[in-house]
Structures are given as C-alpha cells and as structure tokens.
Amino acid sequence: MSDVTVVLSDRVRDIERVIAVVHDGFVDAGFMEAQPSGRRVIPHYLTPGGAFILAEVDGEPAGSCTCLPDGPWGLPSEHAFPEAVAALRARGPRLVEVGSLAVAPAHRAMSRHLVMLLTATAARVLMEDDVTVVSSIAPENARFYRGTFSFAAVAGPAPLYGAPALLIETTSAAMREHLATGTAITRRTVGMLVAEPDPDWLVDRRIEARDPLVAG
C-alpha cells in the first residue's frame, strides 16, 4: 500500500507544488490549456488566509485542494454565478470556497482515497470557524457532496471552464453535524478522518495555524 501524506499549508513553497498539481489535473480534464509555467495561477490564490492542501504519495505530489476565503477578488466561482454568490454573501456568515480539487494523472487509480483525504482536510479547516462554504462541481458529483458533506445546489447548471457546473453551499456548522451522523460508508469514513485528533497522515505547515482563514 502506498504511503499517503496530506500537507496543509499557506507557505509559498507548498503553494507552488499545489498549483502545479492543479495545472496538470485541469489540463488533463480539458479545463485549461497547458501553461509554460506549469502552474494554474488565479488572483484568488493571493487572498489572505487561503489554505492549500497537497496530497503526496510516497513523497510525490498526487492531489490538490484549496480553501479560499472571500476577499479583494471575490471567489473563483463568482464569474459563473454572480447573483447566487452575492445573495450568499449578503446572507452570511462569511464565504469560503473549496476548489482546485485535482488528482495527478499518474495517481488516478487512487482517486477515491485521495479525494476523501483532501476533502476531509478541507472540512477540518472549514470547521475551525463559522463560515458559509461554497463550491462549483460537475452535476454528476452532486450526490457525493450532498450525501457526504450536506451541500445543496443553489444555482446552475452554468458553464464553467467549458463544462456544466453547479454552485453548491452548506455551512461549517451543518457540515460538522452531518459528518457526526449517518451510516453510509463514505460519510462515515470522512467523518472519522475529520474527527481524528492527531492524524499521522496530516502535516500542518500553516504559518497561522490557529486561525488560517484570517492569516496574513
């Protein structure tokens, strides 16, 4: 069995590795053209307090995910769902978008395991605060996000990166309650990963680990 480690960070050297995995995953999926830099770069990655998540398999970058708070550039999904995001922003609490979820092509055979670890780590970050959580997903993935994390669709389908997408939302409080109950194996497994007090598979390198969503 391959050794999987998840790195949670807001440090530049780790962010570089995350956005390289995002680039390769998005290019492979047809969401973007290959860039000379080998990186996917969007202004939202510069928002103060962003949390970047990297899954490594035997030390090699294998998967990525980000938690980006609302900020000067808004949210990545906002250009596809401006009215829905504006309504959620007005309702409160403050918004955080989970996105940039990608698995490196070389590690697709482990996609299910990597996605559970990446999304469980994102949930751990989100539940450190009282936030509204949003994400843009392919419609066929709605059942996973609804059943595992309590997300509900609020807009779409609408075109995003050349494919149909739904905007989904929940709150950190609803996510916490949802993961603490239920018998479905995926939900139960992710719930255990989120609740684990000191997991040996997770390395937290955040500069401001106590309050990552307002870290400078």
Q: What is the pLDDT of residues 1-50, one digit of tens each?
A: 469 999 999 999 999 999 999 999 999 988 999 999 999 999 999 999 99
pLDDT band per the 50, 70, 90 thresholds, residue 162: confident
Rounded CA separation 72/66 (Å): 17
Burial of 93 (0-12, 13-18, 19+ CB in 10 A): middle
Residue with tokens 């950190």: 172
> Which pLDDT does position 214 carry in this prediction?
38
Total domains, the chain? 1
Please list, in sequence order, all residues whose beta carbon lies within 8 angstroms of the beta carbon of residue 28, skipping any fewer than 6 positions away.
Answer: 105
Question: 216: pLDDT confidence band, cut at 50, 70 and 90?
Answer: very low
Backbone angles phi, psi at 186, to 5 degrees: -65, -45
Find the domain containing 85 and state its range. 4-214
Contact 132, 92 (CB under 8 A): yes
For residue 126, give the CATH number of its domain: 3.40.630.30
pLDDT tens digits for 170-181?
A: 999 999 999 999
Beta-strand ranges (E) seen in 70-131 are 95-103
pTM listed for this prediction: 0.92
Could you identify the residue written with the tokens 């959580």?
133
